[in-house]
Chain A
Amino acid sequence: MKRLLCRAAVLALSVCVGAQSAFGDVSLRIAYLRHERTHPPVLSNLSPIPDDLGIAGAELALKDSQTTGKFLGHSYELSVISVPPEGNVIPAALGVLAGSDLVLLDMPAPDVLAVADLPAAQAALLFNVTAPDDALRDTDCRGNLFHTLPSHAMRTDALMQFIMSKRWSDLALIQGAHPEDAAFAAALDRSAAKFGLKIGPRKTWTFDADMRRNAAQEVPLFTQDLGKYDLLLVADELGDFARYIPYNTWLPRPVAGSAALVPVAWDRVVEQWGAVQMQNRFHDQTGRDMHPEDYAAWAALRALAEAATRTGQSDPATLRSYLLSDAFQLAAFKGRPLSFRPWNGQLRQPIPLISGDAMVVQAPLPGFLHQRSELDTLGRDAPETTCKAFQ
């Protein structure tokens, strides 16, 4: 009895403290659910896909958030569940949703939709951290699904702004044979139209030879009949052949898209705006460079933690409405605050255009104006969206 009383007293005390500071005990249990993919073989061995891609970003954000949390009495937990390529993600998702209503999704778009449509997920808050598909932010959007990885459209809009600023009006395109390449190429077409450009001659990459040995012989011939152009776009989102195109084209022209000049969510060359500190923390933790998927997972978990810090709450509904409000600002090492688009749950963010060892420029570029936020010149804007789930 005495013990019971003591416990009640402790409870009452903690309630008082909570009420006073509005930062009582808040505990966030976040899950990271991955459906592993089998990747088609690529020509080069130079860019292995890390085993902990995405996960490592969430782990860094967890550490960052736990540090903040310890000063406020907030706690954060992260559980990682990985389903093998041949496995079914739905039973795993049901298991995850039984224990956590805040879930980061690392899986292809069809899986993302299947999980988001589960009855058990309707009251949860999900973050797509690896699927760039535009449809997920548009016709296939879901009210319980946010996106921290930039869409294809955001990346290709960023590239087109740069192309516009350079006055490169004649564009040619080589695209790979994978669906991912077609999706990126389609986004390039839409972005070109958005900024009043048109992609002219185009070819599909069909080679099955080893380009590490004969790119210098084959690529000039392959690009000869593209005719005259200012810039050659390459859509090779799996990283197969694009790296062998620059300097091997028939005409001496710059290359952009999946190689040479690449619009990305994040890269090791981003070093301004305090980014070096995060890059160092990530490197210390993993021994490797931080990839776009790592950044997207980091941003998702940090956004949740920031919402919990500011609201002192952990329920998905409160966090969701705070994330969509004007009050939410995420400091994410890109030089300006990031926020979520209230019409489709996409994280607004600048897009660095990178080339080898340096960032060339970061979009939005000067001169691309917007009545609300210049960041909304990248990707599907409110008047264009067909997403109704956020209304």
Chain B
Amino acid sequence: MKHCLLPLFLALCAAPAGAEEIWITNEKDNTISVIDVATLAVTRTIPTGERPRGITFSHDFSRVYICASDSDTVQVMDPTTGAVLHNLPSGEDPEQFVLHPNDRHLYIANEDDAITTVVDTETRQVIAQIDVGIEPEGMAVSPDGTIAITTSETTNMAHWIDTETRQIVANTLVDARPRHAEFAAHGTQLWVSAEIGGTVSVFDVASKAEKAKIHFKVKGVHPDRVQPVGFEFTADEKTAFVALGPSNHVAVVNAETFEVEEYILVGRRVWHMAFNADKSLLFTTNGVSGDVTVIDVASRKPMKTIKVGRFPWGAALRP
């Protein structure tokens, strides 16, 4: 009897349902690479639509949404089977999106059309389209769900959208080519990275006034090449990790003093990132080198490089 149970137990442990994974979109391969967090190896490669970029999971992780930019659609995939269940109307060239805390509305940046599209994932209908600046990209929703943010790359603004009325209520200028936006400090701050400006602006959400601006300086890299893009916060929101694009470094920023504490060398043209479930590991997508760097969050050291597809762009955790 004992002999029979052990293999069964092992089989259960190895079952995919319990395995923590990082999903990476490969922009120039039309695939997703699935990384097993326990082994740090790619376990699956799943075909997608054309030019997959933004990726996010539904709150219960039963669905994964993928911006298939050149297919002009958002694909809804069953993460267990990798089968595309259906496509959502997304507007043209969806690049990045964010799922509202209601787990139902997707706010999508349509890069070629200067529009933010709001899609209901249940009815599969577009419920609003909002005119924003040229080349919208960064998307964020406040934790209470009242404000959505779109940043536009050529207009150099963060557009503040009231999620009730779906109207723009404010526009704040940021430095050149804003790429990514996130709410921080329990929703009281908005952080926006500016790729060409080389800065991250921190706004006070209540007053919409700029509270701080974070500058970066990587030794041996010309300031023009230090281009902040994606960023993520640790669980306590006291530390931010900021991808610095072609400088090939990730900055570790103290989110209370807004000082940069450290720079971590990663792969080439680091773009976005995702943590594992307990936020002990950070996975960065390195577009030009076509790999993912795994950073040990406690020691702030890169610990492994994982080869994925061509031009890895987005990253998302599937616990």
Q: Do A and B come from one complex?
A: yes
**Contacts from A to B (Cβ < 8 Å):** 64, 67-68, 71-72, 274, 277-278, 280-281, 306, 309-310, 329-331, 335-337, 373-375
Least CB distance from A251 to B in Å reads 36
For A71, the chain B residues whose CB sits under 8 A away are 133, 155, 157, 159, 168, 171
**With an 8 A cutoff between CB atoms, is B246 at the interface?**
yes
A331 & B155 in contact (Cβ 8 Å cutoff): no
Are A68's CB and B176's CB within 8 A?
no
Whether the Cβ atoms of A310 and B173 lie closer than 8 Å is: yes
Q: Does B196 contact A (CB under 8 A)?
A: yes
Produce 1/0 per residue, B135-175, CB < 8 A to A.
10000000000000000011111010000000010010101
A67 CA / B134 CA spacing, docked (Å)? 7
A67 and B133: CB pair below 8 A?
yes
Whole-angstrom CA separation of A281 from B112 in the bound complex: 8
List of B residues within 8 angstroms of A67 by Cβ: 114, 133-134, 154-155
With a cutoff of 8 Å between Cβ atoms, the chain A residues found around residue B175 in the complex are: 329
Closest to B170 in A: A71
Most buried by A among B134, B154, B159, B176: B154
Whether, in the assembled complex, B222 has its beta carbon less than 8 Å from a beta carbon of chain A, the answer is: yes
- Enumerate 17 A-B pairs (CB-CB under 8 Å) in ascending A order: A64-B154, A67-B133, A67-B134, A71-B171, A72-B171, A274-B177, A277-B135, A280-B112, A306-B156, A309-B156, A310-B173, A329-B176, A329-B196, A329-B197, A331-B153, A331-B156, A335-B246
Given contacts A72-B171, A329-B175, contact A336 B155 (CB under 8 A): no
Contact of B224 among A274, A277, A373 (CB under 8 A): A373
A374: which B residues are within 8 A, CB to CB?
222, 224
Nearest CB to that of B178 among chain A residues?
A331
Given contacts A71-B157, A309-B156, A373-B224, whether A330 and B133 have CB atoms under 8 Å apart is: no
Q: Which residues of B sit under 8 angstroms from A330, Cβ to Cβ?
A: 176
Q: Assess whether B225 is interfacial by the CB under 8 Å rule.
A: yes
Residues of B within 8 A of A310 (CB): 173
- Interface residues, chain B, CB within 8 Å of chain A? 111-112, 114, 133-135, 153-157, 159, 168, 171, 173, 175-177, 195-198, 222, 224-225, 246
CB distance from A255 to the nearest CB of B (A): 29
Q: Classify the interface of chain A: helix, strand, loop or mixed.
A: helix
Chain B residues with Cβ under 8 A from A309's Cβ? 156, 173
Q: Across the interface, do A64 and B134 meet the contact criterion of CB distance under 8 Å?
A: yes
Residue of B nearest to A375 (CB): B224
Contacts of A281 in B (CB 8 A): 112
Chain B nearest CB, measured from A329 CB (Å)? 5
Among residues of B, the one whose C-beta sits closest to the C-beta of A278 is: B154
Q: Which residues of A contact B246 (CB under 8 A)?
A: 335
Which A residue sits closest to B155, measured CB to CB? A68
CA gap between A72 and B134 in the complex, in Å: 14
B114 closest partner in A (C-beta)? A67
Which residue of B is nearest A329, CB measured?
B176
Question: Is B112's CB under 8 angstroms from A331's CB?
Answer: no
Q: Are A337 and B197 in contact (CB under 8 A)?
A: yes
Q: Which residues of A contact B225 (CB under 8 A)?
A: 336
Given contacts A64-B154, A67-B133, A71-B168, contact A331 B173 (CB under 8 A): no
A71 to chain B: closest CB distance in Å? 4
How far does the alpha carbon of A235 sit from the alpha carbon of B133 in the complex, in Å?
A: 42
A280-B112, A335-B246 are known; give 14 further A-B pairs, CB within 8 A.
Answer: A67-B154, A68-B157, A71-B157, A278-B154, A306-B156, A329-B176, A329-B197, A330-B176, A331-B195, A331-B196, A337-B196, A337-B197, A373-B222, A373-B224
Given the complex, which residues of A lie within 8 Å of B159, measured CB to CB?
Answer: 71
Distance to closest chain B CB from A33 (angstroms): 26
**Cβ contacts under 8 Å, A278 to chain B:** 154
Q: For A277, list chain B residues within 8 Å (CB).
A: 111-112, 135, 153-154
Interface contact B134-A274, CB-CB below 8 Å: no
- Which residue of chain A has the shortest Cβ distance to B171 in the bound complex? A71
**Cβ A337 vs Cβ B133 within 8 A:** no
Query: B225 — nearest CB in chain A belongs to which residue?
Result: A336
A304 to chain B minimum Cβ distance, whole angstroms, is 15
Q: Is the CB of A68 within 8 A of B196?
A: no
Q: Name the residue on B nearest A70 (C-beta).
A: B131
Taken together as a complex, chains A and B put the C-alpha atoms of A330 and B171 apart, in Å, by 20
Check if A337 sits within 8 Å of B134, measured CB to CB: no
- Nearest to B176 among chain A residues (CB) is A331
CA distance in complex: A141, B68 (Å): 50
Smallest beta-carbon distance A131→chain B, Å: 27
Complex alpha-carbon distance, A337 and B176, angstroms: 8
Contact of A68 with B156 in the complex, beta carbons under 8 Å:
yes
Alpha-carbon distance A336/B197, docked complex (angstroms): 9
- Asked if A337 and B112 make an inter-chain contact with CB atoms under 8 angstroms apart, the answer reads no
Shortest Cβ distance from B71 into chain A, in angstroms? Answer: 16
Within the complex, the shortest CB–CB distance from A374 to chain B, in Å, comes to 6
Question: Which of B112, B155, B225 has the most A CB atoms < 10 Å from its CB?
Answer: B155
A138 to chain B, nearest CB (A): 25
Q: Which residues of A contact B195 (CB under 8 A)?
A: 331
In the complex the two chains form, what is the Cα distance from A68 to B159 in whole Å?
Answer: 11
Residues on the A chain within 8 Å of B196, using CB: 329, 331, 336-337
Alpha-carbon separation in the docked complex, A290 to B222 (Å)? 29
Contacts of B171 in A (CB 8 A): 71-72
Q: Return A191 CB to nearest CB of chain B, in Å.
A: 22
How long is the Cα–Cα vector from A356 to B171 in the complex, in angstroms? 42
Q: How far is the CB of B22 from chain A (nearest CB, A)?
A: 26
**Complex CA distance for A280 and B70, rounded to whole angstroms:** 12
Q: In whole angstroms, how far apart are the Cα atoms of A72 and B156 in the complex?
A: 12
